[in-house]
Structure 1
């Protein structure tokens, strides 16, 4: 027999996936998102029982608290990232299955199965979010991705609804200015596969043919592993740069096809561990951007992938 307490507990625990979806988009880090969700639940259970019973919509209460926690984290994160060694990239989400049967086909594994994959989780989108102020990011994600009203957002960010509307509008302009035509996933898969094969074969000519002349590579090593501190620009320069990297790699290192944030990407593996994850932006027949995450602290969810 199910009691009212059981129903309440089920309602609360069923919100975890939605809260993690929200927090990851706000923070760009799965580990920080999980910490924020954990803190949200800690605050819920710290409430006196009669206060919890008085909450008419526990899911809304949890989401509001989680968003406020994320807003605080974003403020402190901006200070930390100013001291970050090299470029800072969002933490890539894994899918342990290759994308040979489709970029989102197959069963995902923990922790990726706690995140609903869509355009708002693409690496390009998350990188743009990093250029926003904390208030802009929260207002935009809550309104445009999760469909919160500006009145609800005002209560979270401590601004008026009109001010929140302006924040979201400013953020939306940033997104539109950065948006480029995105190749369908199946088409991107073919381009990325050819790129991976050419890279492992150290075929510079093929790499140059697959890279846009104005392509850019951004690498994030966090000062914990060797990585370019500044973006590498230009298709030909990138081809030579990547060829040098693969030539220095151990013979046992491999590059495998993996889904990264819901899109076809690559992962470099050595001695059973993922040492780098590569996300791509493809326009037409060429790769325009590559995001390389090498920071081992950001690759912990890929340990079993």
Structure 2
């Protein structure tokens, strides 16, 4: 296998893992996550050359599509068929450290932008077609629908994460990747994971539901 094809395979596998993390975050079920990822790719592959050429960042498109499918399934009863996803080989699961390092760099820049409290600075870290999804579990204030577009995402992220008295925004591991945790006196108020394409944040996923934050509390 050439270096270029190995890198391409690693990117594809990393992308699939990224979509699985989105679905697991929303549903907490591996069976549901497999179904959602399969449905996401089922919507991608029928696109013709002209349609796919019009998608500037395929990873961002897949992220939005997976998020939309999650919301569709949350809104109505559904049946999840048995997945037909083969177990990856040892070679396939080798995702390059370069991709994780890139994600870490972008996530830390996003965290630093959040700490400035400046919406314009935060906006500069986002892809033009970025998306933000928040989950309050009906117990705390959160957006009822996904927020689309860098300007709107920057404003929403500012409202949810910045300027709350007595809070500290820390960088930490979220689902095995660099993310953010907002705490007040050791109590987690929000956990943030980000999706990355190139040097930009394409999606911001914010957990605000207190029932999901208990393991993030610190003494």
Using the size of structure 2 for normalisation, the TM-score is 0.59
Closer/same/farther in 2, CA of residues 285 and 247 from structure 1, 3 Å limit:
closer
CA shift digits 1:221-246 (9 cap, x unpaired): 11011111111111111112222334
Q: Deviations over 1:110-166 (max 9, x none)?
A: xxxxxxxxxxxxx99x96995695224x443xx3469xxxxxxxxxxxxxxxxxxxx
The whole-number CA distance in structure 2 between the counterparts of 1:268 and 1:128 is: 26
Among 263, 266, 285, the residue aligned to 2:177: 263
Assess, with a 3 A threshold, how the Cα gap between structure 1 residues 239 and 128 changes in structure 2: closer, same or farther.
closer
Q: Measured at CA, do residues 139 and 192 of structure 1 come closer, stay the same or move farther in structure 2, by a change above 3 Å?
A: same
Report what 1:237 is aligned to. 152
Report if aligned partners of 2:131, 2:204 keep a CA contact under 8 Å in 1: yes
Structure 2: unaligned runs, 5 residues or longer: 1-19, 33-62, 90-97
1:199 equivalent in structure 2: 114
Q: How many pairs does the alignment contain?
A: 155
Residue in 2 that maps onto 1:291: 205
Computed over aligned residues only, the root mean square deviation of the Cα atoms, in angstroms, reads 3.6
The alpha-carbon deviation at position 303 of structure 1 amounts to 2.6
2:132 to 217, 239, 245: 217
1:279 and 1:226 mapped to 2: Cα distance?
18
Tell me the CA shift for residue 208 of structure 1.
Answer: 1.4
- Secondary structure of the structure 2 residue equivalent to 1:135: coil
* Structure 1 residues not aligned, in runs of 5+: 1-23, 34-69, 75-122, 147-182
Q: Give the structure with the higher percent helix.
A: 1
CA distance in 2 between counterparts of 1:220 and 1:288 reads 18
- Greater RCO, 1 or 2 (C-alpha within 8 Å, sep 6+): 1
Residue 280 (str. 1) matches residue 190 (str. 2)? no
Which residue is equivalent to 2:81?
135
Contact 2:114 2:162 in 1 (8 A): no
Q: 1:298 to 1:129 in 2, by over 3 A?
A: farther
Residue 200 of structure 1 contacts residue 246 of structure 1 at CA under 8 Å; is this kept in 2? Answer: no
Contact 2:128 2:150 survives alignment (8 Å): yes
**TM-score, length basis structure 1:** 0.43
